[in-house]
Amino acid sequence: MKTPQKPWSGRFSSPTKASIEQFTESVSFDCRLAPYDVRASRAHADALHSAGILTKREHQRIDKALREILMEIENGKFQFKAELEDVHMNIEHRLRKKIGDLAGKLHTARSRNDLIAADMRLYIKDAATAIANLITALQKTIVEKAEKNIKVIMPGYTHLQRAQPVLFAHHLMAYYEMLARDYGRIADAAMRADVCPLGSCALAGTALPIDWEAEAKALGFSATARNSIDAVSDRDFVIEFLAVAAIIMIHLSRLAEEIILWSSTEFGFITLPDEICTGSSIMPHKKNPDVAELIRGKTGRVVGALTAMITIMKGLPLSYNRDFQEDKENLFNAVDTVAACLEMARELISGARINADVMERAADSAFLTSVDLTDYLVLKGIPFRTAHQLVGKIVRSCEQTGKNLQDLTLKEFRAFSTVFEKDVSRLLSARGSVERKTGKFSTSPKEVQKSIHHAQCELEKRK
Amino acid sequence: MKTPQKPWSGRFSSPTKASIEQFTESVSFDCRLAPYDVRASRAHADALHSAGILTKREHQRIDKALREILMEIENGKFQFKAELEDVHMNIEHRLRKKIGDLAGKLHTARSRNDLIAADMRLYIKDAATAIANLITALQKTIVEKAEKNIKVIMPGYTHLQRAQPVLFAHHLMAYYEMLARDYGRIADAAMRADVCPLGSCALAGTALPIDWEAEAKALGFSATARNSIDAVSDRDFVIEFLAVAAIIMIHLSRLAEEIILWSSTEFGFITLPDEICTGSSIMPHKKNPDVAELIRGKTGRVVGALTAMITIMKGLPLSYNRDFQEDKENLFNAVDTVAACLEMARELISGARINADVMERAADSAFLTSVDLTDYLVLKGIPFRTAHQLVGKIVRSCEQTGKNLQDLTLKEFRAFSTVFEKDVSRLLSARGSVERKTGKFSTSPKEVQKSIHHAQCELEKRK
Amino acid sequence: MKTPQKPWSGRFSSPTKASIEQFTESVSFDCRLAPYDVRASRAHADALHSAGILTKREHQRIDKALREILMEIENGKFQFKAELEDVHMNIEHRLRKKIGDLAGKLHTARSRNDLIAADMRLYIKDAATAIANLITALQKTIVEKAEKNIKVIMPGYTHLQRAQPVLFAHHLMAYYEMLARDYGRIADAAMRADVCPLGSCALAGTALPIDWEAEAKALGFSATARNSIDAVSDRDFVIEFLAVAAIIMIHLSRLAEEIILWSSTEFGFITLPDEICTGSSIMPHKKNPDVAELIRGKTGRVVGALTAMITIMKGLPLSYNRDFQEDKENLFNAVDTVAACLEMARELISGARINADVMERAADSAFLTSVDLTDYLVLKGIPFRTAHQLVGKIVRSCEQTGKNLQDLTLKEFRAFSTVFEKDVSRLLSARGSVERKTGKFSTSPKEVQKSIHHAQCELEKRK
Amino acid sequence: MKTPQKPWSGRFSSPTKASIEQFTESVSFDCRLAPYDVRASRAHADALHSAGILTKREHQRIDKALREILMEIENGKFQFKAELEDVHMNIEHRLRKKIGDLAGKLHTARSRNDLIAADMRLYIKDAATAIANLITALQKTIVEKAEKNIKVIMPGYTHLQRAQPVLFAHHLMAYYEMLARDYGRIADAAMRADVCPLGSCALAGTALPIDWEAEAKALGFSATARNSIDAVSDRDFVIEFLAVAAIIMIHLSRLAEEIILWSSTEFGFITLPDEICTGSSIMPHKKNPDVAELIRGKTGRVVGALTAMITIMKGLPLSYNRDFQEDKENLFNAVDTVAACLEMARELISGARINADVMERAADSAFLTSVDLTDYLVLKGIPFRTAHQLVGKIVRSCEQTGKNLQDLTLKEFRAFSTVFEKDVSRLLSARGSVERKTGKFSTSPKEVQKSIHHAQCELEKRK
């Protein structure tokens, strides 16, 4: 096949080497931006027409051809070619096939520098919406699961040691909160990306009389850039998006870790359904929480993409540098990963069978109500630190005799302090502990019910 | 010195080993949170009093002692001791010295888990304000420098190759825009951190009748947390802050790189004043841009802190884990670094002497107005791609004959195309190129002047 | 205090601003290199004397003063001053106090660029030795613990699901192997750092007749550098060391994770002694594996240091750049962290009480010997995949009826396949499974015993 | 298409969901390991035959089928299917098509856990060899370029300020040294990866009588693993390889930065040939060093892969976890990137036209021989620091009068110090400075020539 002429070959005396061509091409991945590139070109053709640079007839021919090209792209019939470097030149080349030299007019008053920035921003706005919707879907599933299991009690953990009894719904709703922050961060990142760089051209702007605000508006941007040099030098929107993506993955990795722990034989808190597990090629009894493990593992991928982008941008002078080309695969990879992991996390939560008995038995285990015992003493007027030490002694004594707090008689309690009275027995069960809570946003059943209701309203409003 | 008893030693049969104590202590760095810890304790004492857990007299004694402790901290007279583990226990221990066992009552209805989260959030809110102010100060200096040098022309670069003439002020204002985004991100991060975790206690909340909303309000928080487990498990506010800090450093590293380039003999665009340079211990002629190099280098420190925090949080189960202790040094280090680098960047921009002649001479160099030439042809009706190739040929021919575009006669131009007419000569100077620009946010002097004015208004509003 | 004159102030017309001085100083952390700096200076004075640049008398005066300075440093009496920038100038300044202008001769034929590289390499060689010794100590503790618990059986895990019975000693010895690789990597890194950069001066070498090989040898280096520009530009030895450190921390983080899991109520495999645990300020029953959590958390710190160094070095032109100054705190911090964590890991392994009964009970739980059952069928001539599916069916049937493999009668086995015979019962216990293993480096007791013996020999040889 | 049965489906009651299948499949990338997987299977079949588990006839049928499969893979005719999960199951499925149930016997005494580790190690050994060869090729090109330009003088830089004259060959050979260390690191990493994990099976080893040492040897491994649990838990070899790759990229990023600087108009030290440059779509005069920029940018990709792998492994309990699946794309991506960048760096160095005049003119510029002047004074008996300050004053005076050192008359020199004599003039040219150097590994022409010769011998020995 004859290599098509490069758009910039006029000045060059030797053709590009094949290995160089392969090293520098980007169409193998930036082809994903093709629909955005066509959209941007159609808006640009409109603007060139309004500015009198394209005649009505020229504009119509270009627009018709671009619409055909979009259809080819959407139908998977567009043939991207590496020797045409990037998505822009592939599309322009196809345009030239359709309408000849007129195609050359479309690149008036623009450059690949501002065009790629526009494509990327259009993509990121769509990606942000998609991910926000997946966050919402996951939050909904969490709220449903929490509501359905509102009575289930489990041990709350600090340091992976059983600490105090809590409602399982309360624990689950902690993830609702993390995701609510993620939702806010995605919205902020999308808002800052919602700026149209077109009009910057290579870096300096243009002398041609184009209405850049109209072009931005036509593409659905809220504003134009404010400085043409910044507009082609800036990849903040990629880094910020990746940072937000990394935090989402941190949250999902923690959820994944808990699902792995909970579905272990040792915890036994949940059972994952067969259809979202895989087995072992050698151990027939195994049912592995692979999906959760992969979510946890894929955290590395997104963190790696963030580190990559930061490393790339560090110390680069203005304005456009070819290093920026590396932004795309990192971003696409992260978007796909986060989207898939949010979807899979939903499957895990929705599918997990809650073993309420196992959880509650664990929550009722030794000493988890010791804080309640301390509070009891505080309410009897004993300073907190003294009460804490006293309960510590009771716990140590129980450990030595193999007893549980519930096993102690009033007499035994009073051997430690005479402030203990009969009512002490009422506060030593997990359920008693949870139900006696009163504090706002605590694990009190009433508070948890309120938070579920509040979440339902919040999700309703997003529609 | 006799090691004071640990607050949690009641249950333990052997004292902590010294090496363990040294490994686990945090007071050597979390002492920095002491003023916030006292503030949180004073608000908590108020709340305990309102709830009837402290008598008026007890409350007064605690509050007076806490105020004395705050003064000791502020005067540098407070003696932090590693064997007391952390900032909380150091302060409680001092309180006990002052008011005896009554001190023990203060820890009622709270835990170090929610207390440290409150301290950190108070700190981050202050740090965000400080950094926002430093961003504003740097932006002001940029605007002043731009305004003062509004007529200076320099070559704009892409790929570090001279591309087109631009106003130096326009280039500088690109940094204004980056910092404006940073300002927005800091504000968003601070807003999300502005949530009071107190009331979560260890993780489950409490049965004691405290008004947590009042306590949050007293500390200047806009809201309480919404889930007690999330509130003690969450370090998003640290990660988000570090991500924002890393992006600021990316921006400063790019500015530093340009300052290093510009003050090289090869560029010679600026001269740094002696008082912000250092010399060589061996080469007497050297004047090194160390401050810019250190800013660029310190980017690594902040990026490292971000990576560290992400690595720490990945895959941790809820709720509090001791791993979180590692959040502090990373955060403090990043805040100090960003603050110092913003300040130093201001010194560099403010102090740099602009060598306007050198810049303009470079901007007038060969071929930088080739885009203007292309635009000329486009306005004569030649399709862009054809015009681009034609100008490419002119450039190549000039290179072969050692001529500049300005050196070509009309006849020579017309040898390439007969559309060239006399008026071609007017557009071949750097100043002519810049002044002919008309586009919004382009390097047109009128547009740059407008952007400076707009920036001045924006900064004015921040007051 | 009067600011002492800078060594490079001759050319400069204004003194350095105080805030710049604070920003650029490094002595607050590079003071740690002071003993190496004095060593390097003493060797350099010897070389200058041998080259005839210092007279015998001059050499003696310099050497005596340097020895006094070293003593001051070692006794903590040396006063480092920030206004003297760095460790080199602090020491030279002190030398000048002692011997006047003669001090100025010492900096002949060297520069801070090659001197700091020498100091860092001397430090890293010592650090490597120290860490190698701590690795050896931890390996010893592992071997001792393994030998002492040679009969203990536990469940081996894949995907955190119980997989097959293994010897606890075998599991522990996996960490021995990881550490053996770490030991090799540290040695390789130290070997590559063992190169003397002195003689490079600022970057170009010198015309003065110094014997650089003798100077290198006097400092204990195995070789001189091979290129003076590389020698002052290179920080590979820091990055490689940090990469090795990060891998060590990955290993320790995995050990820490297992210790946290094992000491949870759910696993209960080990009990950590009180003296290496800490408690809760609010929950008197808690005994938290803080030391293990901190090791896991401190992984972030070392990974962050690695990322920082990589970010710093990326894209820097040769030769020395001031950005390099940032190498020190990252390196020191990583060395201290790895050393402390290795020591703490030793405490954890040495101190952990092994709950052999709990472990073995877990290993004897349902289905862990299913592979043994598969192997049984394979040895009866059934193709592996068929055997695997058959055992899968038996497991599923057991799950449905709530039975364990050990509970099945021969008749029940034969309902699945008639190849089952009486001998099937012998292979269904955890101990039976482990003892039937024969493969090299498998969990067979004989093999594990051999590996322990082999390790003891390996450690013996290191002395 | 009917989904083929999973190898582990015996126990499972519901089929895997399609979205789960897509999320968990790895064959879309681990297909790259197919040739290694077949090699490992052939060696395993040999071993099973030797152990009497496969008959001679069975062995022959399996081996023949595997050889056919290998050919299909090599010819690109093998059809990988996502619904068959991974490379192992794809190959086993194809084997079953060819030889029926006998295929099932091949998975005797092994597991995907040890098989994938073997495949990865075989791949990494090959990748290490390939990269080592590319390093050698790049080093050769460097040596050739250095030798060819042995007389060219350029300014050496510190802080990107011209410091002292050096030979261009000396500067270039600094990269030879960096690459020599890279070569050593790759070799060390490959050596540590050269260990056969087969025999570990899932994690515990086996009871079947296989000769694992023979199998390891047949695959070209130097040794078997020493602990079966470690062997399936370990991904050190991936992390270490990525760390080495990251350091290589750091080196290439520095080279790329210099090429970008040198080919700028401001430096003008080199001219890149057209065939390895690309142009601008809008500015016809531009010739951009895209290849160098992409090398610099791709550093981020490899650093990101390293960070990803570290993040993945942190805190994972033993033994195999599904998170490990994420190791492959990171590794493959890094290997491809490093290989391509080494090759492209060779193109850049080989193709760059050295503008010797420009370089030498720059080296002869003001004050670069001030160290030589200082050395002159030192040899006249003036203490170094005094001499340094004196030369500093001369430089400052020259700057004020716009003179160069070469412009000063003896009388003017003597106004600063009477020790100056006539011979001072000889040392003030760049060439004079370089030629007067004598030190080992300095920029002395003789030393540089020696280092080139030494490098040639070193490269010769690698064959």
| Per-residue pLDDT, D136 | 98
Check B229 against A443: CB less than 8 A apart.
yes
- Does D5 have pLDDT greater than 60? no
Chain A residues close to D312, C-beta within 8 Å? 297, 299-300
D459, part of any domain: no
| Per-residue pLDDT, B6 | 63
- Does B7 have pLDDT greater than 60? no
Please answer whether residues B85 and B27 qualify as being in contact, where contact means their C-beta atoms are separated by less than 8 angstroms: yes
Residues D430 and D325 both lie in one domain: no
- Give the tens place of pLDDT for each residue, D290-338: 999 999 999 999 999 999 999 999 999 999 999 999 999 999 999 999 9
Q: Which residues numbered 376-415 in A keep a CB inside 8 Å of some CB on C? A: 388-389, 391-392, 394-395
- Does D282 have pLDDT greater than 70? no
A231, part of any domain: yes
Task: Please tell me whether the interface predicted TM-score (ipTM) of this complex is above 0.90.
Answer: yes
Measured CA to CA, the distance from residue A391 to residue C285 in angstroms comes to 8
D10, part of any domain: no
Check B264 against D260: CB less than 8 A apart.
no
Q: Are strands B270-271 and B223-224 parallel, antiparallel or unpaired?
A: unpaired
Tokens of A56: 């009505």
Cβ atoms < 10 Å from Cβ of A49: 18
Chain D residues close to C171, C-beta within 8 Å? 229, 318
Q: Which residues numbered 324-363 in B keep a CB inside 8 Å of some CB on A? A: none
Positions of D marked active-site: 159, 280
A287, part of any domain: yes
* Average pLDDT value for residue range C124-136: 97
Chain D residue nearest residue C252, CA to CA: D315
Q: Among residues A357, A373, A404, which one ends one of the domains?
A: A357
| Per-residue pLDDT, B3 | 44
**How would residue A427 be classed by pLDDT, with cut points 50, 70 and 90?**
confident
Residues D173 and D235 both lie in one domain: yes
Q: How many CA atoms lie within 13 A of D55 on its CB side?
A: 6
Query: What are the φ and ψ backbone dihedral angles of A240, each rounded to 5 degrees?
Result: -60, -40
Instruction: Give the DSSP letter of residue A41.
Output: H
Check B229 against A171: CB less than 8 A apart.
yes
Domain count for chain A: 3
Q: Which of C9, C28, C280, C365 is flagged as catalytic?
A: C280
Chain A residues close to C386, C-beta within 8 Å? none
**How would residue D389 be classed by pLDDT, with cut points 50, 70 and 90?**
confident
Chain B residues close to D374, C-beta within 8 Å? 282, 284
- Does C399 have pLDDT greater than 90? no
- Give the tens place of pLDDT for each residue, A118-162: 999 999 999 999 999 999 999 999 999 999 999 999 999 999 999
Of residues D275, B357, B296, B298, the one with CA closest to residue A13: D275
SS3 B143: helix
Chain B residues close to C326, C-beta within 8 Å? 294, 297-298, 300-301
Average pLDDT for chain B: 92
- Does B1 have pLDDT greater than 50? no
| Per-residue pLDDT, D1 | 36
SS3 D220: coil
- Does B8 have pLDDT greater than 60? no
Chain A residue nearest residue D285, CA to CA: A11
Average pLDDT for chain D: 92
Measured CA to CA, the distance from residue C254 to residue C182 in angstroms comes to 14
CATH number, domain of D25, equals: 1.10.275.10
High-pLDDT (> 90) share of chain A, % = 75
- Give the tens place of pLDDT for each residue, B31-80: 999 999 999 999 999 999 999 999 999 999 999 999 999 999 999 999 99
Q: Is A16 on the interface with D (CB under 8 A)?
A: yes
High-pLDDT (> 90) share of chain D, % = 75
Residues C206 and C295 both lie in one domain: yes
Please answer whether residues A338 and A250 qualify as being in contact, where contact means their C-beta atoms are separated by less than 8 angstroms: no
Chain C residue nearest residue A259, CA to CA: C160
- Give the tens place of pLDDT for each residue, C168-204: 999 999 999 999 999 999 999 999 999 999 999 999 9
Positions of B marked active-site: 159, 280
Q: Among residues D289, D323, D357, which one ends one of the domains?
A: D357
Exposure b/e, B257-292, CB count within 10 A at least 16 = b? bbbbbbbbbbbbbbbbbbbbbbbbbbbbbbbbbbbb
- Does A109 have pLDDT greater than 70? yes
Q: Among residues D59, D78, D108, which one ends one of the domains?
A: D108
* Average pLDDT value for residue range B321-342: 96
High-pLDDT (> 70) share of chain D, % = 95
**How would residue B389 be classed by pLDDT, with cut points 50, 70 and 90?**
confident
**How would residue A15 be classed by pLDDT, with cut points 50, 70 and 90?**
low
Residues A245 and A345 both lie in one domain: yes
- Does D269 have pLDDT greater than 60? yes
B458, part of any domain: no
- Higher pLDDT: C276 or D354? It is D354
- Does A20 have pLDDT greater than 60? yes
Residues B130 and B224 both lie in one domain: yes
Measured CA to CA, the distance from residue D232 to residue B325 in angstroms comes to 32
* Average pLDDT value for residue range C341-351: 96
- Give the tens place of pLDDT for each residue, A41-94: 999 999 999 999 999 999 999 999 999 999 999 999 999 999 899 999 999 999
Tokens of A298: 């894929």
Residues A241 and A310 both lie in one domain: yes
- Does C118 have pLDDT greater than 70? yes
Tokens of B20: 């363990």
Residues B392 and B431 both lie in one domain: yes
| Per-residue pLDDT, A387 | 87
> Which residue is listed with tokens 């070469």?
D406
* Average pLDDT value for residue range C327-346: 96
* Average pLDDT value for residue range B434-460: 95
| Per-residue pLDDT, A1 | 37
Q: Which residues numbered 230-289 in A keep a CB inside 8 Å of some CB on C? A: 260-261, 263-267, 279-289
Residues C126 and C88 both lie in one domain: no
User: Which residue intervals of C75-111 are DSSP H helices?
Assistant: 87-99
| Per-residue pLDDT, D15 | 65
* Average pLDDT value for residue range C207-215: 94
Measured CA to CA, the distance from residue B205 to residue A447 in angstroms comes to 10
- Does B11 have pLDDT greater than 60? no
Q: Rounded to 5 degrees, what angle do the CA atoms D420, D422, D423 make?
A: 90
C2, part of any domain: no
Burial class (CB in 10 A: 0-12, 13-18, 19+), D201: buried
- Give the tens place of pLDDT for each residue, C305-318: 999 999 999 999 99
Check A16 against D275: CB less than 8 A apart.
yes
Check D174 against C313: CB less than 8 A apart.
no
> Which residue is listed with tokens 């825009």?
B177
In B36-169 the beta strands, taken as DSSP E runs, fall at 153-158, 161-167
Q: Is C431 on the interface with D (CB under 8 A)?
A: no
- Give the tens place of pLDDT for each residue, C217-243: 999 999 999 999 999 999 999 999 999
The residue type found at B246 is A
Measured CA to CA, the distance from residue A296 to residue A258 in angstroms comes to 10
Q: Is B315 on the interface with D (CB under 8 A)?
A: yes
**C-alpha distance from A455 to closest chain B C-alpha (Å):** 10
CATH number, domain of C403, equals: 1.10.40.30
Residues C260 and C406 both lie in one domain: no
Q: Is C114 on the interface with D (CB under 8 A)?
A: no
Residues B25 and B42 both lie in one domain: yes
| Per-residue pLDDT, C3 | 44
Across chain D, how many H-helices and E-strands are there? 18, 6
- Give the tens place of pLDDT for each residue, C63-90: 999 999 999 999 999 999 998 999 999 9
* Average pLDDT value for residue range D22-51: 96
Residues A388 and A315 both lie in one domain: no
CATH number, domain of D312, equals: 1.20.200.10
Q: Which residues numbered 77-106 in D keep a CB inside 8 Å of some CB on B? A: none
Average pLDDT for chain A: 92
- Higher pLDDT: D48 or C392? It is D48
| Per-residue pLDDT, A2 | 44
Residues A236 and A366 both lie in one domain: no
| Per-residue pLDDT, D395 | 85
**How would residue D3 be classed by pLDDT, with cut points 50, 70 and 90?**
very low
Structural domain for B403, as ranges:
362-444
> A164-178, A290-304, B349-363, D395-409 — which is least confidently predicted?
D395-409
- Does D7 have pLDDT greater than 60? no
Radius of gyration of chain B from its Cα atoms, rounded to whole angstroms: 31
Check C228 against D441: CB less than 8 A apart.
yes
User: Which residue intervals of D112-235 are DSSP H helices?
Assistant: 112-148, 168-193, 212-218, 228-233
- Does C279 have pLDDT greater than 80? no
High-pLDDT (> 70) share of chain C, % = 95
Measured CA to CA, the distance from residue D366 to residue A89 in angstroms comes to 47
Check A315 against B443: CB less than 8 A apart.
no
Radius of gyration of chain D from its Cα atoms, rounded to whole angstroms: 31
Q: Are strands D195-196 and D223-224 parallel, antiparallel or unpaired?
A: parallel
Long-range contacts of range D389-394, CB-CB < 8 Å, 24 or more positions apart? D389/B284, D389/C9, D389/C10, D390/C10, D390/D416, D390/D417, D391/B284, D391/B285, D391/C10, D392/B279, D392/B284, D392/B285, D392/C8, D392/C9, D392/C10, D392/C11, D392/C12, D393/C10, D393/C11, D394/B284, D394/D370
Of residues A257, A270, A253, A259, the one with CA closest to residue A362: A270
A88, part of any domain: yes
C460, part of any domain: no
